[in-house]
Amino acid sequence: MSVSIVALGTEREAASGGAGQPGLVRSYLRGSGLVAELGSPAPSRLRARILGGVRLEVHECPRWDIFDSDWYTSRSLIGGADIIVIKYSVNDKTSFQEIKDSYVPMIKKALNHCSIPVIISAIGARKNLPCTCPLCTSDRGSCVTTSEGLQLAKEFGATYLELHTLNDFYIQKYFGGVLEYFMIQSLNQKSSEKMKKRKKNQKRHRVQPPQLEQPEKLPILKGEASHYDSDLHNLLFCCQCTDVAFYSEDFSKVMEAHKVILCSVSQVFMLLFNVKSPADVHDSSVVRTAQSLFAVDTGAGLSVPRGAAEPRPPARVIVKDSVFCSCLLDILHFIYSGACQWERLEEDIKKKLKDSEKTEHVLEKVKCILKTPGKLNNLRDGSSHQIKQLYNTSLRLFFNTPVLADVIFTIQGATVPAHRAVLVARCEVMAAMFNGNYLEANSILVPVYGVSKDTFLSFLEYLYTDSCCPASILQAMSLLICAEMYQVMRLQHICELYIITQLQSMPSRELATTSLSIVSLLKKAKFHNSDCLSTWLLHFIATNYLIFSQKPEFQDLSVEERNFVEMHRWPSNMYLKQLAEYRNYIHSQKCHCAVM
């Protein structure tokens, strides 16, 4: 390694000429005990060996005209320096001012923000001290003051030294101590950079460990949007499983409907169909509304006996209010569509009646019918109020209860009551079963095979509420099988998403020790036409290959499935082979493995 020092300026006064004792740096090198060899290949250059063999090169430039004549050479000289020494005589104010104004900016430009140490040496004893009298100006500009030298060093970011004479103390101890400090700092920095470069080259030529690629992204399973409201709304048009018929006062039929749907949104209909008694209703306005609007034909039954061989005819309900009766179809559309499109109901009734008073009268009746404690706020807010009634909350009241039930499922020795209207609206298979040429169409008791009672109850709960919460992956798979049996595709997708979410959240340690058979889930998913889940499970097994390949169930995969897993396995065979070769190389080199 080497250290380059550039010494600029002179320590002599301009009037004293060039004769006399040697310069500052040259005097230091001749008297220093660190210098082993000293040579001078040119008058302005010195070469020496210090600190046990480190090469030292000194470029002395006593004249500043190098910056005026050759900017490229001076810039290269400054740029290649490790330490810069600027010298001036304290008794030569003119030269100092020229250095400060003309040459220091050039040096700054040549350095270009490099962190090279600079030593500014003010040499000599001041001969003519400036007078402090404000009226005397004769000797004020004859020498350079300490404050001026410090200001220059501050602007430069340099170390400032004052050498009153070039004796052994000032040269070796004072100036030499600072210079040696910067030389050691320069050598440490170069040694550090050299070590970094060597490590970088060693790393470049060293055999690198294999790169583990990222596993394939698992297929994304998208959920299906709910069609709960549309299912119930379509029930009104298909007129299947109706058990109530509305008539006008002249006994002409207006519309058929379903008790369970009407009772799920209104206590008025609960009173009408004996689901509740007047004593159960704490709001007297509900009782008055039921009595003033409707009357049940006593000649028709209100409920369906469990043991009946055939369904009873629909209950006959007389609508006493003729204006309300004329808008009954629009009101039933509003109720069956979720009872949440209040503005549309207002518009439809306004177009039909074309009378503001009659419109307001009908809307007030509808508000009284739909008044439900805990569900709605004040119902007398005018047309700006929007009524909201959630079927999936209201129909839950009739789930697994005999109230208004017209079908009873027998399963594993137990009975489960249900309502044909809900089943027909929500499940196409049951709609065909109850309305086709099947025994179930005219039977109250319907046996169920192939599923457990708990699974079937979860299935019915979804039909009534449009939601399901499986307790485990196995229960979700059982519910998926039931959903596939009755062709309820959205429930099937919900179960698939639940299974995927649970498996993705399972830590690797739990996955390795669980008794749950993923291969068995794969077989069931394929058998029951759950293509999305089966594809995802295959990718899941391939992604966790090192875990599943150690399990006995891995042998139950078919040849086609095994080939798929081997093709998409992570980590790949190629990576494991490269890793084994790298480990062998590391052990042969007797060095630490960066991977294993």
Specify the amino acid at residue 230: S
- Would you say the pTM of this structure is higher than 0.75? no
- Other C-beta atoms closer than 10 Å to the C-beta of 267 total 23
Q: Which residues of 312-341 are buried (b: 16+ CB within 10 A; e: fewer)?
A: eebbbbbbebebbbbbbebbbbbbbbbbeb
DSSP state of 222: P
Please list the residue range(s) of the chain that carry CATH number 3.40.50.300: 2-127+143-193
Q: Could you give phi then psi for residue 257, rounded to 5 degrees?
A: -150, -165
Nearest by Cα to 84 from 61, 112, 54: 61
Nearest by Cα to 596 from 584, 583, 585: 583
What pLDDT, on the 0 to 100 scale, is given for residue 378?
Answer: 45
- The model's pLDDT over 404-447, given as tens digits with 9 standing for 90+, comes to 999 999 999 999 999 999 999 999 999 999 987 888 888 899 99
Note whether 324 and 255 are within 8 A (CB): no
Note whether 595 and 209 are within 8 A (CB): yes
CA distance 314 to 258: 9
* Residues linked to residue 315 through DSSP beta bridges, in sequence order: 244
Query: Is 236-298+312-374+384-396 in CATH node 3.30.710?
Result: yes
CA distance 80 to 6: 9
CA distance 586 to 117: 44
Q: What is the pLDDT confidence band of residue 382, given thresholds at 50, 70 and 90?
A: very low
DSSP state of 212: P
- The model's pLDDT over 319-336, given as tens digits with 9 standing for 90+, comes to 999 999 999 999 999 999
| CA-to-CA dists, residue 117 to 179, 303, 430, angstroms | 10, 103, 91
CA distance 526 to 534: 6
* Residues linked to residue 120 through DSSP beta bridges, in sequence order: 86, 160
Please list the residue range(s) of the chain that carry CATH number 3.30.710: 236-298+312-374+384-396
- The model's pLDDT over 525-548, given as tens digits with 9 standing for 90+, comes to 999 999 999 999 999 999 999 999
- Other C-beta atoms closer than 10 Å to the C-beta of 302 total 19
Q: Is the pLDDT of residue 134 over 70?
A: no
Query: The dihedral of CA 152, 156, 157, 162: what is its sign?
Result: negative
- The model's pLDDT over 477-504, given as tens digits with 9 standing for 90+, comes to 999 999 999 999 999 999 999 999 999 9
Q: Is the pLDDT of residue 130 over 70?
A: no
What pLDDT, on the 0 to 100 scale, is given for residue 304?
Answer: 43
Helix pair 473-485, 453-465: axis angle to 10 deg = 70
Note whether 92 and 69 are within 8 A (CB): no
Extract the tokens encoding 219: 């297929």
Extract the tokens encoding 360: 């307001």
The helices-and-strands tally (H runs, E runs) of the chain is 28, 14
Strand, helix or coil for residue 84:
strand
Higher pLDDT, 128 or 122: 122
What pLDDT, on the 0 to 100 scale, is given for residue 506?
Answer: 94
What pLDDT, on the 0 to 100 scale, is given for residue 411?
Answer: 96
Specify the amino acid at residue 541: I
CA 138-141-146 angle, 5° bins:
130
What's the whole-number average pLDDT of the chain? 84
Strand, helix or coil for residue 12:
coil
Residues near 210 by beta carbon (within 8 Å), at least 6 away in sequence: 575, 578, 579, 582, 595
Specify the amino acid at residue 104: V
Q: Is the pLDDT of residue 385 over 50?
A: no
Beta strands at 244-247 and 159-163: parallel, antiparallel or unpaired: unpaired
Beta strands at 45-50 and 35-42: parallel, antiparallel or unpaired: antiparallel
Higher pLDDT, 382 or 354: 354
Q: What is the pLDDT confidence band of residue 310, given thresholds at 50, 70 and 90?
A: low
- The model's pLDDT over 27-86, given as tens digits with 9 standing for 90+, comes to 888 877 666 666 666 667 888 877 667 888 888 888 887 777 777 777 888 888 889 999
Specify the amino acid at residue 175: F
Residues near 566 by beta carbon (within 8 Å), at least 6 away in sequence: 573
- The model's pLDDT over 159-213, given as tens digits with 9 standing for 90+, comes to 999 988 888 888 888 888 898 888 888 888 888 888 888 777 766 667 778 888 8
Tell me the chain's radius of gyration from C-alpha atoms.
49
Please, how many CA atoms are within 13 Å of residue 259, restricted to the half-sphere of its CB? 27
CA 38-42-44 angle, 5° bins:
90
> What class is the 2-127+143-193 domain?
alpha beta
Note whether 31 and 180 are within 8 A (CB): no
Q: Could you give phi then psi for residue 37, rounded to 5 degrees?
A: -130, 150
Mean pLDDT on 207-236: 85
Nearest by Cα to 463 from 516, 557, 378, 400: 400
Note whether 534 and 504 are within 8 A (CB): no
CA distance 367 to 357: 15
Please give the share of the chain, as a percent, with pLDDT higher than 70: 86
Helix pair 473-485, 518-527: axis angle to 10 deg = 10
Where do we find the tokens 């979700």? 476
Q: Which long-range contacts (CB under 8 A, 24 or more apart) does 248-251 make?
A: 248/318, 248/319, 248/322, 248/325, 249/318, 249/319, 249/320, 249/322, 249/325, 251/318
